[in-house]
Structure 1
Amino acid sequence: MKLITEETPICEDLEKYTLKNFDSGLNLIAEHKNRIVGVCINSIIERDKPNENIFITDKKFVITASLLGYVEEQAALFQKYPEVSKIFDINILSVDTSYRGKGIGNAFCQKSKDIAKEQGAQLMSITCTSSFSASIAKKNGFEVVYELDYADYKINGEVVLKPEHPHKSIKMLVYSEL
Structure 2
Amino acid sequence: MFIVLWLFLDYTKMTEQEQDEKILQRKETLGLTVQKITMDMMDKLMDFLWEHFMNQEPVTASMNIQRSWFIDKLWFPSLIKLGDSYATMNSNGEIVGVRLGRQMNVNDTFSKYMDIIGNNMVIYGSKLTRSTTDFSKYDLVNKIMNYDAWNFMEEKNHQKICEIMILCVDKSYRGKGIGEILMHDVNKIMKSSGCECTYALYTSKYSAAISQNLGNVEVLKSMKYEELVDRDGNLILPKHGEHTAIEVRSTKL
Question: 2:136 pairs with 37, 46, 62, which one?
Answer: 62
For residues 70-89 of structure 1, what are the structure 2 equivalents within 5 Å?
Answer: 70-71=144-145, 72-73=147-148, 76-82=151-157, 84-89=158-163
The partner residue of 1:154 within 223, 226, 229 is 229
Among candidates 185, 192, 196, match of residue 118 of structure 1: 192
Partner of 1:172: 248
**1:8 to 1:91, Cα distance in 2 relative to 1, 3 A:** closer
More helix by share: 2
Aligned residue pair count: 175
* Structure (1 or 2) with the larger CA radius of gyration: 2
Q: Kindly, what percent of the aligned residue pairs are identical?
A: 21
- Cα distance change, pair 143–100 in 1 and its aligned pair in 2 (3 A): farther
Between 131-140 and 166-175, report the one with greater CA deviation.
131-140
User: Which of 64, 67, 83 is equivalent to 1:10?
Assistant: 67
Bigger shift: 87-96 or 140-149? Answer: 140-149
Check conservation: 2:219, 2:250, Cα contact below 8 A: yes
2:168 match: secondary structure: strand
Partner of 2:175: 101
C-alpha RMSD of the superposition: 2.9
CA distance in 1, matches of 2:77, 2:171: 22
| CA gap 1:113/1:47 in 2 versus in 1, 3 angstroms | same
8 Å contact kept, 2:65–2:134:
no
What is residue 46 of structure 1 aligned with on the other side? Answer: 105
TM-score (norm 1): 0.81
Mark the runs of 5 or more structure 2 residues left unpaired by the alignment: 1-57
Q: Report how far residue 163 of structure 1 moved.
A: 2.9
Q: Which runs of 5+ in 1 are unaligned?
A: none
Give the stretch that moved more between structures: 161-170 or 52-61.
Answer: 52-61
**TM-score, normalising length from structure 2?**
0.59
Residue of structure 1 aligned with 2:83, choices 14, 21, 25: 25
Structure showing greater relative contact order (alpha-carbon pairs closer than 8 Å, 6 or more residues apart): 2
**Maintained 8 Å contact 2:223/2:247:** yes
How far 1:17 moved relative to its partner? Answer: 4.2
Work out the CA distance in 1 between the residues paired with 2:68 and 2:245: 23
Structure 1 residue 97, shift from structure 2 partner:
2.0
Aligned to 2:94: 35
Give the strand-richer structure, 1 or 2: 1
Contact 2:88/2:178 (8 A) holds in 1: yes
The separation in 2 between residues aligned to 1:13 and 1:172, in whole angstroms, is: 27
| CA spacing shift, 1:127–1:11, aligned 2, 3 Å | farther
Instruction: Measure, in 2, the Cα distance between the counterparts of 1:169 and 1:11.
Output: 29
| 1:9 Cα offset (Å) | 5.7
Structure 2 residue matching 1:148: 3-state secondary structure: strand
1:94-130 CA deviation, whole Å, 9 max, x = no partner?
A: 1122211211111111112112212211121121112
Query: 1:133 & 1:40 partners in 2: Cα distance?
Result: 12
The 2-side partners of 1:79 and 1:2 are apart by 26
- The residue type equivalent to 2:101 in the other structure is N
